Chain A
Amino acid sequence: MSTMTTTHRTTRTRFISKDTRQAILMWLLFLPLGFIIIIPLLYMFSMAFTTEANQFVLPIRWIPIPPTLQNFNKIFADPLLPLGRWFFNSLLVASVGTIIILIVSSLSGYAFARLEFPGKNFLFSLLLFSLMIPAAITLIPAFLLLRSLGMLDTYHAIWWPAAASVTGIFLLRQHFYAVPRELEDAARVDGANRFRIYWQVCLPLVRGALVALSIFTFLGLWNDLFWPLIVLNKQANLTLPIGLVVLQQGSYIQRGLAFAGAFVASVPVLIFYVIFQRQIIAGITTTGMAGQ
């Protein structure tokens, strides 16, 4: 049988190996889809560097000649469109939020994986129950609550509701299960208390899951439009996604500005994506997590 297939293969692939032929076939199949994916991105990049006057020129000039920074100068200088400020706000919202979520979910995930306490199963089933309820129903009560707490138009209104999320707990709980109990026992014999065991023994061993969770949390907070749109109001407090909507609403007059804003918002995450692509893709395929 094996000799038969080898002879068969050699006769059919005298010039190119089977792998190469398969690769060529796949490239032919996927290249059109690749173009559809990449062309809108390239369009955004080139329009960000195209002068306002040339935004509407047909045929489309894919390489702006000469490239201009006028759009960027305008959005960074205009006091009504404080893009630099919004960028900084988004950075603050996403980084502090990620740290809070990481601390809160790892503590709870550890407890549900490794510690015993009365009512544990009941409390865990409450977390499961909340997964079945669509987020839409919590929007108005959470907003009214934040309003009476005086937290509207501050980032507390984004951080603390985000930290109530249960997905991080499920992810980390799975990984804490995989930590060998002997390590904890050894630490206990050495006189470590339960908090030190969590912090110094278990947490370093789930580093991979923590990295995945922080990447997805950061991206989710950086990109989110809906909840910040509800709780933030003052122009100076907005995050980039809302700022882009503000830019876009004036864009029938100034297209280049919207594209320059989109460029500023997406280039950092695209660089981040290229650097961490392995972790991001592994994170999705192993945990089914994504910032949707």
Chain B
Amino acid sequence: MATSTAATASQRSSSTAKNRRWKTLKNQLPNYLFILPHFFLFSVFLLYPIFRGLQISLYDWKIMLTDQRWLGLANYQALMNDAVFWQVLRNTFWFMILTVIINVTLALIVAAGLKHRFTGSDFFRVLFYAPGILSVSVLGIIAIRVWEPQLGIINYYFVNVMGFPRVNWVSDPTLIIPVLSLTTVWWTFGFPMLVFIAGLHGIPEQLYEAAKIDGAGVLSAFRHITIPLIMPTMLFVVVTQFIAHMQVFAQPYIITGGGPGNASRSVVQYLYETAWKYFRYGYASAISVVLALIMIVVTIILFSLMRRRAEY
């Protein structure tokens, strides 16, 4: 008797539990309406394309055909033997490394000065970020005229005013990537600068006071307090900068068209031309997959390297 009551009780409680669960579920169902619009768009335009991109890279994809020709890994094989691909990859890495290093160094130094409030500090902050507000097309129009060998501003001051020998900034294949990189620094260093200012404000001022009492100079304090404590911010900045500049497109596209020769063509520009100029969508997809893999691997390496440094 006792056992049977216990059994029915537990049965009843399990059925009420089920009932309650069903009730909460029914109550929670309308919550899906909130995420539905975004999740639909997210699935269609982000999630599905990620996998679709992998698939397309295995075909000789032509836009007019209904049946696409399966190639297996042939696109990837061709890519490995594509001298232009290796060159644009080298160009992009060189551009990215230069830009990240100059941007991060300049931004950190400027931020170390601008974190103090002084008359005009807000003005400099606003001014230094201002180029970042402009479209890359405006940047391109300005940059073409700034670097132009005969009539540009830079050569005007270098050659006509200061008397240096004339340098052909845009037609020298060894100079063109640094030129694009400096142009990009002018355009983008304000962003890491602002992030660094916020990061520096998070470092307690007492540490600097203590270091000063211990007789440490400005440089030594920068080396032993600022650098280690800014590491988490540095990680964020380096990773976002890496992702942005590895996918550079518009600067070479507008300013040089990828030239001279292929000296300034970037990976994304090559991808764009392969797909939308030569209509080789399968091959272009293979380029995008390889670029994505490289970026994921480097991001993971950066995370583990910088996290280890940040722990010290």
Contacts and interface: CB of A to CB of B under 8 A. Distances in A.
A79 interface: no
B134 A284 contact: no
Nearest to B134: A266
A76 to B, nearest CB: 17
Contacts of A269: 133-135
A25 B7 CA distance: 84
Contacts of B160: 58-59
B63 A43 contact: no
Contacts of A230: 272, 276
Contacts of A259: 141, 145
Contacts of A36: 186
Given A23-B120, A111-B34, A163-B41, A137 B191 contact: no
A185 B142 CA distance: 56
B101 interface: no
Contact of B53 (A103, A137, A147, A292): A137
B48 interface: yes
A218 to B, nearest CB: 11
Contacts of A112: 35
Interface in B224-266: 236, 240, 243-244, 246-247, 249-250, 254
A2 to B, nearest CB: 12
Given A112-B35, A245-B140, A273 B133 contact: yes
A30 B110 CA distance: 8
A248 B136 CA distance: 12
Contacts of A41: 130-131, 142
B45 A138 contact: yes
Contacts of A140: 49, 53, 56, 275, 281, 284-285, 288
B284 to A, nearest CB: 6
Interface of B: 25, 28-32, 34-35, 37-39, 41-42, 44-50, 52-54, 56, 63, 110, 113-114, 116, 118-121, 124-138, 140-146, 151, 153, 156, 160, 186, 188, 191, 194-195, 197-198, 236, 240, 243-244, 246-247, 249-250, 254, 267-268, 271-272, 275-276, 281, 284-285, 288-289, 291-292, 295-296, 299
Contact of A133 (B56, B134, B145, B292): B292
A209 B123 CA distance: 24
Please name the 10 residue pairs, one residue from A and one from B, whose CB atoms are nearest each other, closest first.
A141-B49, A111-B34, A141-B52, A285-B198, A244-B137, A138-B49, A223-B135, A23-B118, A164-B45, A108-B38
Interface string A244-255: 110110010001
Interface in A211-252: 219, 222-226, 230, 240-242, 244-245, 247-248, 251
Interface residues of A, number: 99
A43 B137 contact: no
B244 A292 contact: yes
B5 to A, nearest CB: 34
A136 interface: yes
A174 to B, nearest CB: 15
A290 interface: yes
A262 B135 CA distance: 9
Would you call the interface of chain B mostly helix, strand, loop, or mixed?
helix
Contacts of B289: 137
A29 B133 contact: no
Given A30-B113, A166-B42, A270 B34 contact: no
24 contacts: A19-B118, A23-B118, A23-B119, A26-B118, A37-B130, A40-B146, A43-B145, A56-B151, A59-B160, A117-B28, A126-B47, A136-B268, A137-B49, A137-B288, A138-B53, A140-B284, A141-B52, A145-B44, A226-B250, A230-B272, A248-B140, A277-B126, A280-B133, A288-B236
Given A33-B128, A60-B156, A112-B35, A245 B254 contact: yes
Contacts of B38: 104-105, 107-108, 163-164, 169
A291 B135 CA distance: 10
Interface of A: 19-20, 22-23, 26-27, 29-30, 33-34, 36-41, 43-44, 47, 56, 58-60, 103-105, 107-108, 110-112, 115-118, 123, 126-127, 130, 132-145, 147, 160-161, 163-164, 166, 169, 194, 198, 219, 222-226, 230, 240-242, 244-245, 247-248, 251, 255, 258-259, 261-262, 265-266, 269-270, 272-274, 277, 280-281, 284-286, 288, 290-292
Contacts of B254: 245, 248
A144 B57 CA distance: 13
A103 B41 CA distance: 13
Contacts of B47: 126, 130
Given A130-B50, A160-B45, A272-B133, 15 more contacts: A38-B127, A41-B131, A107-B35, A108-B37, A137-B291, A140-B56, A145-B45, A147-B63, A169-B38, A225-B137, A226-B250, A230-B276, A247-B141, A265-B138, A266-B138
Contacts of B131: 37, 40-41
Contact of B197 (A126, A137, A285): A285
Nearest to A270: B133
Contact of B34 (A198, A225, A266): A198
B281 A265 contact: no
Contacts of A225: 135-137, 250
A210 B128 CA distance: 25
Contact of B63 (A33, A118, A144): A144
Nearest to B237: A288
